[in-house]
Amino acid sequence: MLENKKIIVALGGNAILSDDPTAQAQIEAIRNTCEKLVQLVGHNNQLIISHGNGPQVGNLLLQQQLADSEKNPALPLDTCVAMTEGSIGYWMQNEMSSILKKQEINKSVVSLITRVEVDQNDPAFTHPTKPIGPFLTEIEVAEASQDGAKYIEDSGRGYRKVVPSPKPVGIVEVDTVKQLVENDVITISCGGGGIPVIKSDNGYTGIEAVIDKDFASKKLAEQVEADLFIILTAVDNVYINFNKPNQKKLEEVSIDELKQYIEEGQFEPGSMLPKIQAAVEFVESSNNGTAIITSLDNLGNLHEGAGTVVKKNDSLKVSNS
């Protein structure tokens, strides 16, 4: 049983969006997700939720481009990130509140529009890698790429547009998140990786980019000193030699072991690799924190050691001795 833990859960896109991109379908998916997240509430746990927005922000950009005109100009990418952070946060806040009420759990939920500081000299701005929007065929890419955008093949599922994805430097609203958590408010923060902003003497300015939600969630987990960082994905565990005859499921693993697998190229960039890197970086920077990579359906089994559990090398030796 998880108890007395400060928990950050980073939701993957499959927890929000199905094949149906309508608002009602996304709300239904979020409702199902929240019903599973509620399992982490109680037993004096403090819960912070983050989520992706790749498909949503990509679809919104397409809508903006189609409606672009002199009287109704398309909005920039950072504003589209803010819009999807707000809409997804609103849906999640609504559904989580309803489920808590039905289960007679007296906790408040709030979604926080979160800015995330990035470095304007980050090399990501000259080398876009973050997939957003729908999956396209080769023919659709040939037509779409005429706008000068870059598209890459994504995990064998088709082609997607890619944009700059700078690393997060810090969470601007982290003090507000801490205050909410200390008051036992379930907080939805860093949605879509947060709104990328550059710091200046006059404050912050938005910049065209999308921050990877796993790295933004990791930075938030570090800054609020979380005990447990859960990264949800489509599979129950991380695998090496994935889809090969010698495929192996990783259960409890050290950061050194994962670093070796990264060097071997075991994990797909833009898919499982950033999740592994975020988990390793969080555990390295934390005093006693643990990271778990698993599926949404596996949340109820965490007390049984479900998922891929990432720990420091010394703590892993102690637990196995």
- Three-state SS for 46? strand
Among candidate residues 12, 54, 89, 130, the one labeled active-site is 130
Among candidate residues 13, 86, 170, 206, the one labeled active-site is 13
Among candidate residues 6, 161, 275, 312, the one labeled active-site is 275
Q: Report the distance separating Cα 78 and Cα 190, nearest Å.
A: 13
13 noted as active-site residue: yes
- Three-state SS for 33? helix
Q: Which residues contact 281 (CB under 8 A, 6 or more apart)?
A: 218
Among candidate residues 5, 14, 107, 178, the one labeled active-site is 14
Alpha carbon of residue 175 to chain centroid:
20
What are the helix and strand counts (H, E) for the chain? Answer: 9, 17
Q: Report the distance separating Cα 88 and Cα 148, nearest Å.
A: 29
| Six token digits for residue 286 | 């934390």
61 and 20 in contact (C-beta within 8 Å)? no
Alpha carbon of residue 113 to chain centroid:
15
Among candidate residues 6, 213, 219, 311, the one labeled active-site is 213
275 noted as active-site residue: yes
Please choose, from the candidates 62, 50, 49, the residue with its C-alpha nearest in 3D space to the C-alpha of residue 21. 62
191 noted as active-site residue: no
- Three-state SS for 265? coil
213 noted as active-site residue: yes
Annotated catalytic sites, by residue? Answer: 13-14, 130, 213, 275
